[in-house]
Structure 1
Amino acid sequence: MFIDKNSKKLPVDLGDAIMGNFGFGDFVIKDPDTGKEIMRLSTLKDLQKHVFEIPAKSLYYHASSNDISRWLYSRAMFPIAEVMKMHRFCSLDEADAVRQLIFDLIVKYRKMKNRGVVAVFQKDRFDHYSNFARIGQGSLGGKGRGLAFVDSIIKKNPVCDHFGGVSISIPRSVVLCTDIFDEFMAENNLYQLALSNASDREILEAFLEAKLPVRLIEDFFALFEVVDRPLAVRSSSLLEDSHYQPFAGIYATYMIPHVKDPYRMLKLLSDAIKGVYASVFYADSKAYMNATRNVIDQEKMAIIIQEVVGENHGYLYFPSFAGVGRSLNYYPTGDEQAEDGVAQVAVGLGKYIVDGGASLRFSSRHPDKVLQTSTIELALRDTQRCFYALGNDISSGFDVDDSFNLVRRNISDYAGDSALDLMVSTYDADNDMLIDNNLGHGRRVVTFANILRDKAFPLAPAVDFMLTQGQQAMGRPVEIEFAGVINDSNARRAGADKGHIYWLQIRPIIDRKDMVEDTVLNASDDRVILRSNTALGHGAIDAIDTVVYVRPSDFDSAATRDIAAEIAHINAEFVRQDRNYILIGPGRWGTSDPALGIPVKWPEISAARLIAEASLGDYRIEPSQGTHFFQNLTSFGVGYFTVNPYSGDGIYDTDYLDAQPAEYESAHVRVVRLSAPMPIGIDGRRGIGVVLKPTDTQDNTTIPNI
């Protein structure tokens, strides 16, 4: 290449030479025989789109001359350029493989570049490889920040691309920042109605009639061209998932089905966004704001528009599973430790778990030891029987209830369907056993046995990875949300990936109610009513001034059925009065064998906020540690103590309780109401629990009887 330095247009000639020979201009694909231009590529996206159209001879020519790597180097795309420069294109027969190599390198590079970055949404650049973008200049909100944090963790851990045969990522997401909310509220003059005492329905209708900023329309159409799945429209307020205030779950999340008509899709998405905005001002939200001493008109709402994880199954859409995990387990059983973490998982949408359904609880470090499936009786009684899915009918319009278009289905409705493969077992009633497959005519039981015990899908290791990495990155215990899709058996047998796990959210576990003062836990023995060294639960339990206990001095193991009936009657009265109590008794609470303890059912002790098993001198039964009510304990945050004062394991001051006036008393049971609430604290990490005597004990004879 030569340039005349005496030319009057030397700068122009030099610029043309650099652009044409050093890769700084367009990539011009030429016919090596004639030198004629075949096509011109301006961007990496162009190369990805047209690489399979480049003739083999031209591809061989440019690759052999390092033209491709030079063009990539000039754009600072060093990882791809290095690989292309090192690759040796030896013959035309390799053309198809080289095209695929270039395509795969570009895809991997674009995914890598997009991870951990909240890009500004540009409608002409947003495509299938865009992962996380924002519209607006305001805050991302609490959930938006959490999602960006998760994306940064994934970027730092390349193992997420192939984690035991699955990939871990966040769903494709776009955030409408808080300035869009401010503009919407101001332009439609909504604050006066929103802050009034109008009903939730009136507020929602007013918001649905309002107009979003017009400039969003083209952005939404660009989004629809890329996303071909249902969308979740999630709240992401400034206060949600904050480090100091538990605002998660206060505002609405709507899901909308995917429809082919972009204008219909625009209407659905717009109404869902307005519905989330309206939920900021619903009565429950205002009440919660007042309770947490926040000012509602200072709350700002961002919106996360996110692909719903799942697949179509007929007219329903749902993921294989959804779950939540916590890096601290305050109800460890067996060999589990508090630091091992705990997860709950269920078939279908996560609403089942949010609503307190019988999800499967497991420790990600002990996945083969699941209490709920440890016996046939527990598996049939305490496992999931139904699930939630997204329907495609939304003709009735939006409702204050954000689950108005979700469909509830029985697990049995999908018996034999591949949607339940690996997650269910079949009950063989003739032999009273579970068979770990989705075949036959027996009842389907959600056990996840093929996944947790047989490791057919790396759910437990993935949950442990997310909890461990999340806690390390955040510097404190965390709670996560996740969902996943398991590929069908044909795809797995063909060597395809086992599926995909989507990491949906992360938030710190910080709740001031969890803080237990050392002065409570370390109180001297003379101040203690109960002390347990094997306590389940965590935190302070407030406003409990009543103890219901089985009289140790008159206990008769032959009368446990009568005692159970009596306690059920007492509990019903507590429920009617909206009161709670501490329940103490010998042996195992909830056992089906009356010889081993008090055979109550959960509804018969549902008002208890702390339950204690206390051994007696001549009645020492191996403690159950709450296994009979484990699902209820964890769902309602009930504490559970095991005390054996006769072997020096804990304290149970029966003399103190016997000395207090009884609110109710029979041959077997006493109810004692003290003059003030008892300080109660549980340290879930150490398994220590304490109930202290009130500091001001007075005579209680004036308290009305139960």
Structure 2
Amino acid sequence: MTSKEPLQSSDRVSTGLPGLDEVLDGLRIGDNVVWRVSDLNDYRRFVFPFLDAAAETGRQIIYLRFGQHPPIIEQHPAVRTIEIDALGGFESFTSRVWHLIEQHGRGAFYVCDSLSELLNAWATDAMVGNFFRVVCPLLFELDTVAWFALHPDRHSRMTLDRIRETTQVMIDIHRHGENVQIHPIKAWLRQSPTMFLPHREQDGQFQPITDSSDATRLQASLELEHLHRQPLLDYWDRLFQEASRALSEQDADCIADLQEQVLQVLISREPQILALARRYLSLEDLLGIRSRLVGSGYIGGKATGMLIARNILLKEAPELWQQNLEPHDSCYLGTDAYYAFLVHNGLWPAIMRQRSKAGYLTEAPALRDGIQEGRFPDEIRSELERLLDHYGQYPILVRSSSLQEDGFGNAFAGKYDSVFLVNQGAPEQRLEALEDAIRQVYASSMSEDALRYRQQRGLDQREEPMALLIQRVNGRFHGRYYLPDAAGVGVSRNTFAWDSTMDPKAGMVRLVMGLGTRAVDRIEGDHACVMALDHPNRQPFRNQDESYRYSQHLVDLLDLQQGALETRPLSEVLENTTDLPVEHLAEVDRAATTRAEQIGLKGPVWRLTFRPLVQKGAFISRLSDLLQTLEAAYRHPVDVEFTLHLDEQGDPAFNLVQCRPLATVGEAGPVPIPDRVPEERILFRTEGHFMGGNINLAIQRVIRVDAAIYATLSTTQRYEVARLVGEHVRSSKTPTMLIGPGRWGTTSPELGVPVRFSDIAGVAALVEVSEKAGHMVPDLSYGSHFFQDLVETGIAYAALFPENSHCQYHPEHLDSPSLPAGQPPSPDAALRIHDLDHRQLQLRGDIVRQTLICFFTD
């Protein structure tokens, strides 16, 4: 190949070969040039003249080295080589390239390895096209010229079309022995009568093949050559094709190796989760997951946890769970679909701004809006249509399943959205509703609560693509309502044991009738049923009236007429249905029934105590077995979500919908509790109703909300109190205890202080007080998302009930100044800040004795 004087002008760039410049009418500033080759040596032959011409004009030239093939450029005095690891995943690689391009600024020239090498790193062909669609516009915007190679036989038609659509110049190189032809496929904003014909190279010149007979013979020879070349699938499709072959042929030597390869691209990168998956997800299981996957990539933490847990039960205790565990009917939207959605909607620049330190929180709202307005690529929409065909008109639940979610140490409990769909109406309506739900879950990854959670746990710079778990809602149709018989959260460690005879290792359950939303969230104005599995009949109530008062009165269900998730009083649900298994879940309140009949209301009045389920069936023994089996396999306490399907005798079958490692507070040694502390030195003392294991904390600051003043404030003023609390917590550098009326973090200001958890996550201890003023009562939310946040963050928790004999509470010992006479109540007056510079306050808890005391040591 020879070179003459190259072409250069203010907006023109030479390829380094005048003959090629003549064919293409030169390159333009901003051109991305894609060379489609079968042999990388042909790419190299065109690269070096380009480098020499660029070097003569003083251009900054960067070689982006990421392939496993031999280097395109070994040495060149004008070229800076930057090596980038593609194995870290699409987002980390694309972000790195993006930032490099930004750093080198306008006018830099780039030569890149073969894009096809990214298949080996990412497994999926679509992501190669998405990478190019991200970086090509940025390179164009910054007036660069960039060269890429591509092996077209290794890519799908869709990817090739998207790269062609995005690039400015595309050239095919065909080789037949020593005969080399180039065939320009695209040259943006330039044209000639022969530009897009095949060209033979001869003595540095490229002659168009203008004779149709010659062109036909050339094409026939190329097609004959392709007949003998095996078309290549991308790594993803080849991997699953080879897995199917190995299973059908029972090729034992290949099965274990292929299982490991599939786990690495479908399940997780987290070592502890991978270790579990190796033991409990066979290659056949993995192929079953693939058959239910929309798109490609990882299925995410929530889906992985559910599938592993189900297989643990079926493998370790098949005699019990083959009959009593319902088959799952879940589908998955892979992480690649999330990235494809972002790229398709031009949101990658916004992602890069949000990933910066300055834009982490400030750029999130605009990005969230962009996600909610986005549209899905056609290939994803068609698969979603098929998914809806599978479920028919059964309600479905769209759940987050991000890469980091439900892992060891990072539950993300309640941080991302889940969306119930009644799934009624015409197919077009159901598809639109499904797409809206997916957008909502995607957008929730940019919520402030989720972002602060990631930031507080040092996860803000780690990849967090959102996969989705799509499940048929377990339940039955009851006229206009659809709901499961019951649902709950079970944990294998009861860190809220309220009685010294209870064994924390026996576990506990938080149980509700209807949808499980009322089991995982702090219920506003209502109560789930909490049971210690070793003493399920022992409730933390003084009498039956109190047990009825603090039971579940409202039911979450899907209302098919309203087309939404709704909350209905139990009495109303029972009035409108005839076939709910209420007799297996509830007891008749005879006194209330008599009163109702006296005023002409229909009876009976049911109370959801779940005693019939506990006393007459195998629910407790089966749940205990489930939790113990999973904890043994995980070698770690677990947290599960489930629904129950009761037969006519009330015998329960379980549908396990989620399993994750339970965050636990580290078990410390025994903590000395002083037996006799003068009352004037006690701030509070309680038996039971606390969490945090054995506690020994020195408290230097107390932030207390005065219940008497808070009860007189307007709703707006109560939100102002919450804002002030957040400010004071964030500014505090010392161990702080937060004391307030009713429920911290409630969404209903009449029930407590409506702070966000991210605002109070820095405190050492959180105390909720039952206050007569305003009738604000703590919610002992064992097993809820709030519970998970407390444990993960290492916050000690106590609920104080001063009206009970087992509790003492003396806020007056904090020397709170009284409100001056005549001064109207205000948010500032409701907030009391006590800096204990000259007094030492100790918080000590003994989990065995179930005693917690907070006292002044002097």
What's the TM-score once normalised by structure 1's chain length? 0.58
Alignment-mate amino acid for residue 509 of structure 1 = L
Alignment-mate amino acid for residue 227 of structure 1 = Y
Q: Secondary structure at the match of 1:413?
A: helix
Taking structure 1 as reference, are residues 677 and 291 closer, same or farther at Cα in structure 2, changes over 3 Å only?
Answer: farther
1:385 shift after superposition? 1.1
1:434 shift after superposition? 13
Q: Deviations over 1:165-200 (max 9, x none)?
A: xx2145311222212212221232213345367898
Q: Is the 8 A contact 2:593 2:603 kept in 1?
A: no
The corresponding residue for 1:362 is 531
**In structure 2, C-alpha distance between the alignment counterparts of 1:117 and 1:294, rounded to whole Å:** 30
5 Å-filtered alignment, 1:155-234, equals 155-156=314-315, 157-161=317-321, 167-169=324-326, 171-193=328-350, 195=354, 203=367, 206-228=370-392, 229-234=394-399
Taking structure 1 as reference, are residues 430 and 225 closer, same or farther at Cα in structure 2, changes over 3 Å only?
Answer: closer
The corresponding residue for 1:569 is 708
Alignment-mate amino acid for residue 543 of structure 2 = T
Q: Deviations over 1:446-470 (max 9, x none)?
A: 1112111233xx3222221221111
1:413 shift after superposition? 0.5
5 Å-filtered alignment, 1:332-347, equals 332-334=497-499, 335-347=501-513
Between the aligned residues of both structures, percent identity stands at: 21
1:277 shift after superposition? 1.3
Alignment-mate amino acid for residue 216 of structure 1 = I
Alignment-mate amino acid for residue 579 of structure 2 = S
The corresponding residue for 2:691 is 538
The corresponding residue for 1:278 is 443
1:300 shift after superposition? 1.1
Q: Is the 8 A contact 1:325 1:341 kept in 2?
A: yes
**In structure 1, C-alpha distance between the alignment counterparts of 2:801 and 2:814, rounded to whole Å:** 25
Taking structure 1 as reference, are residues 210 and 661 closer, same or farther at Cα in structure 2, changes over 3 Å only?
Answer: closer
The corresponding residue for 2:623 is 463
1:160 shift after superposition? 4.0
Taking structure 1 as reference, are residues 661 and 261 closer, same or farther at Cα in structure 2, changes over 3 Å only?
Answer: closer
The corresponding residue for 1:556 is none
Q: Deviations over 1:235-259 (max 9, x none)?
A: 0112211212241211111111233
Q: Which runs of 5+ in 1 are unaligned?
A: 1-73, 77-111, 127-132, 396-404, 550-565, 591-600, 614-627, 644-648, 698-706
Q: Is the 8 A contact 2:686 2:853 kept in 1?
A: no
The corresponding residue for 1:419 is 580
Q: Deviations over 1:406-426 (max 9, x none)?
A: 111110102363224222222
Alignment-mate amino acid for residue 516 of structure 2 = G
The corresponding residue for 2:556 is 388
Alignment-mate amino acid for residue 520 of structure 2 = V
Taking structure 1 as reference, are residues 243 and 389 closer, same or farther at Cα in structure 2, changes over 3 Å only?
Answer: same
The count of corresponding residues between Structure 1 and Structure 2 is: 493
Q: Is the 8 A contact 1:199 1:283 kept in 2?
A: no
Are residue 480 (structure 1) and residue 640 (structure 2) matched? yes
**In structure 2, C-alpha distance between the alignment counterparts of 1:482 and 1:538, rounded to whole Å:** 24
Aligned counterpart in structure 2 of residue 408 of structure 1, from 553, 561, 567: 567
Taking structure 1 as reference, are residues 419 and 394 closer, same or farther at Cα in structure 2, changes over 3 Å only?
Answer: closer
**In structure 2, C-alpha distance between the alignment counterparts of 1:394 and 1:203, rounded to whole Å:** 31
Alignment-mate amino acid for residue 409 of structure 1 = R
1:544 shift after superposition? 5.3
Q: Which runs of 5+ in 2 are unaligned?
A: 1-247, 251-279, 729-735, 743-749, 771-775, 788-796, 820-831
Are residue 521 (structure 1) and residue 665 (structure 2) matched? no
Are residue 505 (structure 1) and residue 667 (structure 2) matched? no
**In structure 2, C-alpha distance between the alignment counterparts of 1:191 and 1:543, rounded to whole Å:** 47
**In structure 2, C-alpha distance between the alignment counterparts of 1:391 and 1:120, rounded to whole Å:** 33
5 Å-filtered alignment, 1:549-568, equals none
1:475 shift after superposition? 0.8
The corresponding residue for 1:348 is 514
Q: Is the 8 A contact 1:426 1:440 kept in 2?
A: no
Q: Secondary structure at the match of 1:323?
A: strand
Alignment-mate amino acid for residue 459 of structure 1 = F
Q: Deviations over 1:394-453 (max 9, x none)?
A: 88xxxxxxxxx3111110102363224222222222788999xxx961432111121112
Taking structure 1 as reference, are residues 532 and 339 closer, same or farther at Cα in structure 2, changes over 3 Å only?
Answer: farther
Alignment-mate amino acid for residue 522 of structure 2 = G
Larger relative contact order, structure 1 or 2 (CA cutoff 8 Å, min sep 6): 1
Q: Secondary structure at the match of 1:254?
A: strand
Q: Secondary structure at the match of 2:708?
A: helix
The corresponding residue for 1:379 is 547
**In structure 1, C-alpha distance between the alignment counterparts of 2:439 and 2:625, rounded to whole Å:** 36
Q: Is the 8 A contact 1:115 1:155 kept in 2?
A: no
Q: Is the 8 A contact 2:498 2:850 kept in 1?
A: no
Alignment-mate amino acid for residue 423 of structure 1 = L
Q: Secondary structure at the match of 2:409?
A: coil
Taking structure 1 as reference, are residues 266 and 630 closer, same or farther at Cα in structure 2, changes over 3 Å only?
Answer: closer
Q: Is the 8 A contact 1:367 1:452 kept in 2?
A: yes
Q: Deviations over 1:502-541 (max 9, x none)?
A: 1111111225xx34765x9359999997798955422269
Taking structure 1 as reference, are residues 224 and 517 closer, same or farther at Cα in structure 2, changes over 3 Å only?
Answer: same
Alignment-mate amino acid for residue 449 of structure 2 = D
Q: Secondary structure at the match of 1:409?
A: strand
**In structure 2, C-alpha distance between the alignment counterparts of 1:380 and 1:506, rounded to whole Å:** 31
The corresponding residue for 1:622 is none
Q: Secondary structure at the match of 1:325?
A: strand
Taking structure 1 as reference, are residues 321 and 214 closer, same or farther at Cα in structure 2, changes over 3 Å only?
Answer: same
Taking only aligned residues, the RMSD between alpha carbons, in angstroms, comes to: 5.0
The corresponding residue for 1:264 is 429
The corresponding residue for 1:3 is none
What's the TM-score once normalised by structure 2's chain length? 0.49
Q: Is the 8 A contact 2:778 2:799 kept in 1?
A: no
Q: Is the 8 A contact 1:199 1:282 kept in 2?
A: no
5 Å-filtered alignment, 1:125-140, equals 133-140=292-299
